Structure 1
Amino acid sequence: MRIISGQYKGRRITAPKKLPVRPTTDMAKESLFNILNNQFYFDDISVLDLFAGTGNISYEFASRGTEQITAVDENYGCIKFINSTSEDFEMPITTIKSDVYKYLERANQKFTIIFADPPYDFPVEEFSKIPQLVFQNELLEDEGLLIVEHSKHTNLSHLEHYSHSKSYGGNMFSFFNK
């Protein structure tokens, strides 16, 4: 995986093969950040990266100047890798080793962007818990955005606060807001 833009543009990051992850493709990531670039000033926002995996999305935000990034994953190897990589690049990423749903139940900070990339094989019920907990616990700022990455075979358009989806190959991003 590589960082698409910003201070670390072009830098390649190689994650250990043993991590249970499926990083967002470069094409999908570039398209997503083109959308976000038109809506946000990256140095003025706070980001929550759920199911952070390799930290791919967190690194992209950090490279573009975001100073407040929290990455949550329950896998110790993923957290260790994100910590090591963010330390090497001197990126301001705070990691939390936790089950994402438990974290969302007890979180008390608001974020501008919440990005969730759960396993694609999750049942729709598991996907639906993410926006439910985010909005129930008021974790998004007023103009904030929740983005859930999923397979094109998963439909989230029936969920409350759903705005729209964008498809990139087999990847899909569903956007939710207040």
Structure 2
Amino acid sequence: AGFERSAEAIKSDAVKFIGNTNKKYTLIFLDPPYDNPVTHILKTLYEIAKKNCVVVFPHGINQNLTDSINLFTKLKSRNFGKTVIDYYTLDK
């Protein structure tokens, strides 16, 4: 019950959303195209991420994302068939 009051689901292009909000978040789920994960989003996502924010970044198994992107560091990676879910945290 408490989570629902503090959660917010946003269906939007991430780059446009980042440029149009001044809120800060502690947990962010991304849903990029699996064949072309847009890692450039992580390069600007720090603008709306609170310290120690966790970003959940699913992508296709053929994509290999680096352990560090801008100010984000990969916490772990989980494989689910043809999908990989990477978890990044903000180190600021």
Same fold, TM-score > 0.5, yes or no:
yes
TM-score category (smaller protein): 0.7 to 0.9
Counterpart of 1:142 (choices 33, 41, 51) is 51
Larger Rg: 1
Mark the runs of 5 or more structure 1 residues left unpaired by the alignment.
Answer: 1-6, 8-42, 44-64, 74-97
Considering Cα pairs closer than 8 Å and 6+ residues apart, tell me whether 1 or 2 has the greater RCO.
Answer: 2
TM-fit CA distance, 1:71: 2.4
Gapped regions of structure 2 (runs ≥ 5): none
* d(CA) in 2 for partners of 1:66, 1:167: 28
How do residues 59-78 of structure 1 correspond to structure 2 at under 5 angstroms? 65-73=3-11
Match of 2:62 in 1: 153
Deviation at 1:66, TM superposition (A): 3.2
Runs ≥4 residues deviating over 4 A: none
Q: Percent identity?
A: 23
Structure with the higher helix share, 1 or 2: 1
C-alpha contact (below 8 Å) 2:35/2:63 kept by paired residues: no
Q: Shift in Å at residue 121 of structure 1?
A: 2.1
Residues of 2 paired with 1:162 and 1:116: CA distance? 16
Superposition CA RMSD, Å: 2.0
Q: How many residue pairs were aligned?
A: 87
TM-score, normalized by length of structure 2?
0.77
Distance 2:51 2:4 in 1: 18
1:81 is aligned to none
- The structure carrying a bigger strand percent of its residues is 2
